[in-house]
Structure formats: C-alpha cells, structure tokens
Amino acid sequence: MIRPDFDLPRARRETRGCEQQIHFNNAGASLPPVPVADALYGYLYDEEVYGGYEVMARRSAELDNFYAASARLLNCSADEIAFTDSATRGWNSAFYAFNFQPGDRVLAGSAEYGSNLVAMLHQAKRQGVEIVWVPDDASGQIDIRALENLVDARVKLICLTQIPSGGGLVHPAAAVGKVAKSAKIPYLLDACQLLGQRPLDVEEVGCDLLCGTGRKFLRGPRGTGLLYVRKTLLEQLEPHQLNHHAAELLSVERYQLRMDAKRFESWERSYAGQLALGVAIDYALGWGLEAIGERIRLIADNLRQKLSGIDGITVADQGPDLCGIVTFYAAQLPADQLQHQLALRHINTSTVPFSANPISSQQSRHPALLRASLHYYNTIEEIERFAIELKQLL
Ligand SMILES: Cc1ncc(COP(=O)(O)O)c(C=O)c1O
C-alpha cells in the first residue's frame, strides 16, 4: 500500500519536468525540484548582474549552508565535508590520497563502479597494489564472512559501492563497517546511488570516507558532489594534488595543509551548483529520507511486480534489500532498442553499460539490461502506462 500521508501532489507540483514525460532515469540524473532549480538560476543571474566574486562575498552564508546541510544529511561535522564536482572526483581524491606500497591490498565488493575500478587498476599498475574482490553470498550481497577472512596486515583499504549503478540490490554497508572498524582498516564507501534515496548515518555505517553526487537521488544540479572524510583520518590523508585553497601558502618556500576536509577541494568551482546542492539536501531532509526511502521501495516493488507479469520480460534485480533501481531485459527486443522506443514515447530510461558495475556484470549471465530508476515523485499511474507501452512494444 502507498502511504496516504505522502504529499504526492506537492512533489509533482514542485517538479516542473514531470509534466513533460515519464522520467524513470533518476539513477542517471533526477529532475531537480523547483526550489533547487530556482536557486541555481537565481545565483547565476546574480553572477551575471553583480559579478562572481561580489556575489560570493554577499551570499557566503548561503554557500556555507552546503557544508551544514551535508553534515545534517550524513550526521557528521561540517568540517568533514568537501565540495566536489562529482562522485568520481570525491572517490578519486580519497583513493589517491593513500600512500600505497607494493604488495598492499585493497578489498572491494562486486558492485564497484567502473570508474573506481579504472583507478584501482591504475594504482595496481603504478604502485603494485593488489585488488582483491570480495565474493557475494548466495543472496547477492557482499559476503561478510568472506570479507572477515580476507582481512590481514596487507589490507590498507576496504571499498564498497553500496548500490550498484546498474541494479536494485543494496549492500549491507554497516556490516562492512563493523569489519573495517574491528580490523582498524579505513573504509571508503561509494554512496552515489544511495544519497537522497535512503537515510545514511556515517556513525551507523562506520565508513571513514564517503562520496556522493548531486544530480542523482539528491536532485541537485549536475557537476556537483561531496566527499566526507572522518576527522580521525583527515590528518593522515594528504591529497594527491594540492593547491592554494587546500593548503595555505606561508612563504615562497612553505605551505600548511588545511586541517578540514576542504584540503580535498579546489578553489574554483560552480558556486551556483554548491549553493543549489545545499538547497537540494535541505529539500530532501524536509521530505525525510525515511519517508522517501519507503515510498521509493513501494513503487519500485510495484514496478517489478508489473514487469514480472509481462510475457518475455525477466527482472534482473536480486537480493533481500532492493531499492528504486529496477533492471530487466526482454526476450523480444534488446535493451538499447527498447530504450529508444520508450524515449520516442516520452519515457526516459537507460541501459546498463558494462562499465556501470563491471565485476558483477562479468559474473552475470543476463543479456544487456534496461534500467528504470524511480524517485518519490513518480506515480503508480506512470508505472501502469509504462507497462502498457512495454506490452505494446513487445
Ligand atoms: C555507484 C556509482 N558511483 C559513482 C558514480 C559516478 O558519479 P559521477 O558521475 O558523479 O562521478 C556513479 C554514476 O553513475 C555511480 O552509479
């Protein structure tokens, strides 16, 4: 049952884009809500009229709200947050800050994002780091026993992508956090597909580093993201690249690294994006991440049920805990053609490329998948229309 107290009319009223099409590509980029879009346009207008540096000075409190809002979202302190231009930038900044030595090991889960894998292979090639893939259990989630057994003195980092780019499965990030904590190994969480979709408390999860992006379930602008760095790790992690924002220049010969997570930032950035991401986070917190998560789960289950009833369609998502990302394939038409045909009918979906989650893709026997990713502003009526269009197409 869909909760009657979820104010769906308001959610749709405040989402201008949902009048144009059925947007089931929230795992790609969500439709930003009106307050976020207006904050972005308003700030850009101010830059046009008053000048970028002048607006930055005048609206510094609103810009700073990004850090406070992120801290509220993750239950951390504002000085543990860095603004980034993407999840990838955040993840790379964290990963490349480790001073890996030949023979060091990184343990990682099967959902790891393709870009993270490229960086791991790069460090394996340059530094002699060994990447060890932790197997999944029979349910599809990361096997916690296997993870425990892989922990030894060689392991310098544990990585987990909590929700794969191309699948509905949610990995038990807190269980991984317990293993990392008891072994005293730093834990880097890619929460890119989770932030804005479900609550995430870094104390409960036990991660030391976390990256997220603005444009997906947080409904922020493109070109924005965040990196969380636990205070106790901050001092030990020296960014791979420095600049005069990350470190204060004391003389022509000396610099001093910042003590907060801003040591992972650049000075230049989209200030409009930063401000609007802060608005997006507050907007999500206003709805409540529990309520958002519950609604997404309900409508995604509804979609999976409807898809299972269509001849020729196989739903690919598996696992005890599924989210708003729904993946499937049809016997009659390949995923890219399906996506194209749906787009002609004003329904946005995406395909799942190999680079989305290469390790699990390699292990899977499915043909290419189509991804329909739902947010709370999507409706049962949209799901019904989606199912009708699919039936007609097939
Ligand atoms: C799980 C996951 N991690 C990281 C990323 C990269 O995000 P960004 O494009 O903001 O760097 C994505 C993007 O799809 C993703 O799905």
Q: What is the pLDDT tens value at each position of the chain, 394 positions in all?
A: 555 679 999 999 999 999 989 999 999 999 999 999 999 999 999 999 999 999 999 999 999 999 999 999 999 999 999 999 999 999 999 999 999 999 999 999 999 999 999 999 999 999 999 999 999 999 999 999 999 999 999 999 999 999 999 999 999 999 999 999 999 999 999 999 999 999 999 999 999 999 999 999 999 999 999 999 999 999 899 999 999 999 999 999 999 999 999 999 999 999 999 999 999 999 999 999 999 999 999 999 999 999 999 999 999 999 999 999 999 999 999 999 999 999 999 999 999 998 999 999 888 889 999 999 999 999 999 999 999 999 999 9
Q: Are residues 102 and 220 in the same domain?
A: yes
* Distance in Å, CA 120 to ligand 1 centroid: 15
* Distance in Å, CA 206 to ligand 1 centroid: 21
In a domain, 14, yes or no: yes
In a domain, 239, yes or no: yes
* Distance in Å, CA 88 to ligand 1 centroid: 6
Q: Are residues 159 and 208 in the same domain?
A: yes
Q: Are residues 55 and 182 in the same domain?
A: yes
Q: Are residues 146 and 67 in the same domain?
A: yes
Q: Are residues 239 and 312 in the same domain?
A: no
Q: Are residues 254 and 174 in the same domain?
A: yes
In a domain, 3, yes or no: no
CATH code where residue 205 lies = 3.40.640.10
* Distance in Å, CA 87 to ligand 1 centroid: 6
> Is the beta carbon of 159 within 6 A of some atom in ligand 1?
no
> Is the beta carbon of 113 within 6 A of some atom in ligand 1?
yes
Which residue, among 238, 389, 366, 245, has the nearest Cα to 307 in the 3D structure?
A: 389
In a domain, 22, yes or no: yes
In a domain, 319, yes or no: yes
Q: Which of 255, 270, 286 is the last residue of a domain?
A: 286
Q: Which of 286, 320, 346 is the last residue of a domain?
A: 286
Per-residue pLDDT, 160? 98
Q: Are residues 279 and 293 in the same domain?
A: no
Which residues span the domain enclosing 355? 8-32+288-393
Mutate to test the pocket of ligand 1, among 83, 112, 115, 373 (most ligand atoms within 8 A of CB): 115
In a domain, 21, yes or no: yes
* Distance in Å, CA 51 to ligand 1 centroid: 32
Per-residue pLDDT, 3? 59
> Is the beta carbon of 88 within 6 A of some atom in ligand 1?
yes
Q: Are residues 276 and 316 in the same domain?
A: no
Q: ∠292-174-364 over CA atoms, to 5°?
A: 80
Domains: count for the chain: 2
Q: Which of 286, 320, 347 is the last residue of a domain?
A: 286
Query: Which ligand 1 atom sits nearest the alpha carbon of residue 213?
Result: 10
> Is the beta carbon of 85 within 6 A of some atom in ligand 1?
no
> Is the beta carbon of 86 within 6 A of some atom in ligand 1?
yes
In a domain, 26, yes or no: yes
Q: Are residues 215 and 356 in the same domain?
A: no
The CA distance from 157 to 91, in Å, is: 13
In a domain, 1, yes or no: no
Q: Are residues 292 and 282 in the same domain?
A: no
> Is the beta carbon of 192 within 6 A of some atom in ligand 1?
yes
Per-residue pLDDT, 5? 79
pTM exceeds 0.75, yes or no: yes
* Distance in Å, CA 189 to ligand 1 centroid: 12
Per-residue pLDDT, 365? 82
> Is the beta carbon of 93 within 6 A of some atom in ligand 1?
no
Q: Are residues 221 and 166 in the same domain?
A: yes
